[in-house]
Amino acid sequence: MGNSHFSQLCLPLLREGDAAGHPQPFLGGVALFVLLLLPGQPASAANWLQLQGNETPSAPMFRTFGFVQPSYTYIDAGPVSGLQGASAAFNGRYSTLNLNWPELQQAQQFQVIRAGLGARGKLNDDINYSLALDAGQNGVNYYRDVMLTDASLTFNYIPGARIRAGLFKLPTSDEALLAVNSAFPYVYNSNAVLYMLVGLPVEANGTVSVSGASSAKLASGFSGFRDWGVQAYDWFNFGAWEYSYAAMVSNGAPIESINDTDNNKDLTLRVQSSRIFGGQGPNREDLSMFAWQQSGARTFGGQSFSMVRQGVGAKYLQGAYRVTGEYLRGDGMIVGGQTPPFVGQAFAAGVNEKAAGWYLEGGWRFMPQWEADLRYDYLDFMTQTAANERELATTTAGVQYFINPATHVIFNYEWRAMKVTNPLAIAAGATRTNTLAIAGNLGNRISLQLTWSF
């Protein structure tokens, strides 16, 4: 796929290297800083490695859990117009940027985004398990009505190295690790986290270009920040301080099968340092700093291409206030959206591309049952090819109402903007006109979501 054709793409779906293409030691320096923070310098957030992989001493052998998230989304945009050349055939149609996943049929839609059901417990004092299914309407379930999303055993025999094996969330971004039914304060993920980490397996649609973008098609549904693998992890408490780590070797393949499809393994590392103020579980009050790195390879068109993702961030939660910030970057395999962005068109994939982004968000519980939330997120992707580079910026204002401990409602309004970074790098005429028209057509998004856990 040539760059001129890709230039009409305005959204990715969803490693950083030196001049020789080797990953830089990003995590090493940050990890040393995080783990060696001196007491008296605050830093902390809930330990999701512990919460998702382990049971409390009093936990039963078997307990079920579940939740449903019926949601309504409205995108304030109309059909695209003004397209020229071959793309004129798409005039009067909605861009996929303004349609709701996974059906891609409506700009406004009611759907049950997630419907989770699972079980977890302790087999004995040293072994615990977790199982979960998702029957919602989302990218993970793109090809299947019901997907296995968690299936793991945790072995707590080795001091300093608990072992978790199976299917579960990778130890990456703090936002990706949050439990969507109890701790995630927004309806939709930030751009940087979604488009760099959601995991979109693709296959080559013809010849692979080592520069620019190549045509691709979906090979399966999204990974949902998960993978099959084995993880060593633990946490260590020193007074009010807690230090934790995780090292996971995983398939780096579609989660629909336990088998590794290309024999390329991913290595994901995460470290966190936390100053605990009080409380426990997902609402533990603390100040944390964390860093992570995921490195591996993806097979595309019979060739293997590097894929590295990295991030560093901090989270503060105390009393009525919460603030989180995280910076992420990607190198190697970067998957874009459909190009041009209309239903039925091929996807775009860069095999030697880069992306970077960040988010800053906060919350204020101004009454026992009410919380106000605000997030700004930014993503700059396909930065190695001037004609393909795009920037996304979204400001999300939200309100949460907590009906009871098991039920709450989220309302979000998102101001979404897209920038064609280098319009003069795109051939003048129809291609440039179409690119700018599609970017300018991106609409703001309103969403309302009820979460009921049981």
Residue 390, exposed/middle/buried by CB under 10 A (0-12, 13-18, 19+)? buried
The torsion of the CA quartet 126, 166, 180, 103, rounded to 10 degrees, works out to -160
Quick one: fold of 3-453?
Porin (2.40.160)
Question: Count of CB atoms within 10 A of residue 115's CB?
Answer: 18
44 within 8 A of 228, measured Cβ to Cβ: no
Number of Cβ within a 10 Å radius of residue 167: 21
**For residue 272, what are the CA distances in angstroms to 159, 165, 197, 311, 413?**
18, 21, 19, 12, 32
**H-helix or E-strand containing 432?**
helix 430-440
Q: Is 35 helix (H, G, I), strand (E, B) or coil?
A: helix
**pLDDT (0 to 100) of residue 337:** 85
**What single-letter DSSP state applies at residue 442?**
P
What's the pLDDT score for residue 125? 95
CB atoms within 10 A of CB 367: 11
Q: Characterise 440 by phi-psi region: left (phi > 0), alpha (psi -120 to 50), beta (else).
A: alpha
Dist. CA 403–CA 413, nearest whole Å? 21
The tokens of 247 are what?
Answer: 């090292």
Give the count of beta carbons closer than 10 Å to the beta carbon of residue 179: 17
Output the CA angle 416-418-424, nearest 5 degrees.
165
pLDDT at position 94 is 97
Sign of CA dihedral 341, 343, 345, 346: positive
pTM of the complete model beyond 0.85: yes
Domain ranges of the chain: 3-453
* Residue numbers of the chain with a pLDDT score lower than 70: 1-45
3-state secondary structure of 417: strand
